[in-house]
A and B are shown apart, each in its own frame.
Chain A
Amino acid sequence: MRFSVILRYVGTVMLCLSAIMAVSAGISYASGDTGFYPLLLSALLTLLLGGFPMIFVSKADSITTKEGFMIVVGSWVVSCVVGMFPYLIWGGEFSLVNAWFESVSGFTTTGASILTNIEALPQGLLFWRSATNWIGGVGVVMFALLVLPSLGTNKMALSGIEMSSLAKDNYRYRTQKVAKILLTIYIGLTIISTLALKLAGMRWFDALNHAMSASATGGFSTKNASIGFYDSPLIEWILIAVMFLSSLHYGLIYSTFTRKSNNIFRSEVVRVYVAIIVGATLFIATSLYFADIYPNIFTSLRQSVFQTVSLITTTGFATADTNLWTPFAVVILIILSIICGCAGSTSGGAKVDRILLYFKVLVARLRGQQHPNAVIRIRLDGILQEDRQVNTVTLFLTTYFVLILLGTLTSTLLGLDLLTAFSSSVAFIGNVGPGFGAVGSLDNYAELPSLLKIQGSVLMLMGRLEIFGFIQFLFIRMWR
């Protein structure tokens, strides 16, 4: 394994981050706030750190799978490290652990925050927070691949590693084309949602930040009360649409616009996904209405649909304190936080594709018991699933739940109540953001012990790197 090549490619990602830090510093300079110096210094340090390997290492003609793996996981970890520089230098509520947590939460699009007063942050730092969401949404390596076309043939190896195998199924194109599709949809969605939010009454700065956060299904807001601050049904509906679209497979969105046969309307996964959203919304709204939490069914529906979409897409924006909702609604929301969006989207979590495949395997198993000689084929969205793929999915889901249980166990050991411990573990590994109990939709993670914040950041990274990627990174010595 050539570490020099790995350093060069990780450095390339850092150069992109440095450029965005410089843009954030520009915003701080324009608004004359205290974020300018921390952001500019961070940008310079990141530039030097990222640019240094390029002095010695020339562009590699090809990279191996092992090297690609190291580049992807290394880029994520290093991005989180340099991402905390502006927070640490600025100070305020950011201790070392808090800055690390906020940075990991940003890049993994979790959107969990340790800030008790978000509005006290300078504009440049608020933009940097949203930018970490935005970069993380598309994937830090994919982001570098998108903005640096000179990476050429190595795009294939790197994007193949960062993208899950399920996500790749619906991209029936070459990697170059996939990158273009991602770029077009992602930037297009961000621009359209910025304009829509501005027209709905947000300030330009807030509209851009919320659009970046929503299209990445991140959940960082510029307001302490999140979207509840605006109390505007129009803003909520715009964000619902953006969050929903961002949680669909980007390849399917592209196919729908280009009128291909494998589009959103024909996708089995999307149909199940929509059915889950509609069902959950109705159940929660009914529960809220009959529990007299909201004065009428329309308000119940409005709150219910926003929170349902916000949690299932792993965004984590809030319009209401879900801790005040009925236990039935809370349980549904926790289940949604486990299921999450579609593969190939910016959302995290177990993914509805895997859950659907799991149930198909279950049905096939039951049928197999009834008809022992039958050859049962499992298809997902018309694509035949190999045994290896099915095994990977079941192993993924098992590991996913084991990690949630381990997270809950250690959290309760360190003094959290069961609801907070379980829901925060689900929120971390699913990159959802808000949990329930002490870490509810309108609360934050400031009061969590430092050890749990570190555990949470590891779970967030694991969730974002689809678990196995991160675990393999930890056993890198075996790779030699």
Chain B
Amino acid sequence: MKGIGKRVTVAFLSIVALLTASGVISLFELSNLSYDADEILSASSRDMEVSKNLLRSAHDHSRAIIDMSIFGKEDKSACRNALSELDSQISSMREDAPVALQECLDSLSMYSARLRSLTENYSATETVVIDSLTVEVHKVDGRKWYVEVYEPSYNNFTEQVKRYTTLSHGQVAPRAAQLSKNAYRSVAPVLISLAVMIAIVLMFYFFIYIYGVKPILRINKALTDHLSFKLPYKAKAEMIDEIKELNDNIENLINISKSNKKQESDAI
């Protein structure tokens, strides 16, 4: 490569390219990191929401059972709706849940099935329809049934929901550790690019100084010494391209001037 202008331009463009690359890498890594953090936070809030909905559905079912067993309300649709809500929530949780939580979801399904079977059995023992006549076959004590049969299963189910909440929150710790690992990975390329950039900027300064600034200072000093004290012109520095040409031209000019003076003095 020839020409100080070209050299400086290429060097400058290299630095700009590295700066741009560092910026792109930083953006890429930060967006990855931000995506990971969002992922963890949204997973955590999703788990909270799901647990809340499960507890609400279980509570709705319990209310419907109380209405049916204690207050004798005939409408069983509230019961069925609450149960189907529970089942659909559990099956949707299964889709996103990690392997570690699958066992807990199995238990939840089991307790939900238990609530369903208790409800169906209660309904079955309450009335029997024979030839369009409703016959009271066996009247159970609704209050006693609720306290002794239903409530323990309900408590088991809610306990299991709490366990699921605890476990799902426990999953945040390793994911956060992974995030911190990813953060290290994100920072490493940026830091390395930065270190390389510092090295290149230092080299740029060094080259500009020894091939640009220093020769000009030396040429100026040599020229000043020559003009002021008639010292021979000698600029000691590493010179390239136009600066070398400039130095050579000055030397030529001085030589021409010297030979002109000599010719003049010879003529006189």
Contact = CB atoms under 8 A, between A and B. Distances in A.
Interface of A: 2-4, 7, 38, 41-42, 44-45, 48-49, 51-53, 55-58, 85, 88-91
Interface string B5-26: 0010011001001100100010
Contacts of B192: 41-42, 45, 85, 88-89
Contacts of A48: 14, 17-18, 196, 200
Nearest to B18: A48
A242 B148 CA distance: 81
Interface stretch (B204-212, B227-235, B254-262): B204-212
A341 B132 CA distance: 104
Contacts of B184: 91
B207 A49 contact: no
Interface of A is mostly: helix
Contact of B203 (A7, A45, A85): A7
Contacts of B181: 91
Interface of B: 1, 7, 10-11, 14, 17-18, 21, 25, 181, 184-185, 188-189, 192-193, 196, 199-200, 203-204, 206-207, 210-211, 238, 240
12 contacts: A45-B196, A48-B196, A49-B196, A52-B11, A52-B14, A52-B203, A52-B204, A55-B11, A56-B7, A56-B207, A88-B192, A89-B192
A58 B240 contact: yes
Contacts of B188: 88-89, 91
Contacts of A53: 203, 207
Q: Is the interface of B mostly helix, strand, loop or mixed?
A: helix
A11 B64 CA distance: 80
B68 to A, nearest CB: 58
Nearest to A57: B207
B196 to A, nearest CB: 5
Contact of A55 (B7, B189, B196, B238): B7
Contacts of A41: 25, 189, 192-193
B1 A55 contact: yes
Given A3-B206, A53-B203, 19 more contacts: A4-B207, A4-B211, A4-B238, A7-B203, A41-B192, A42-B192, A45-B18, A45-B193, A45-B196, A48-B17, A48-B196, A52-B11, A52-B200, A55-B207, A56-B11, A57-B207, A58-B240, A88-B192, A91-B185
B202 to A, nearest CB: 10
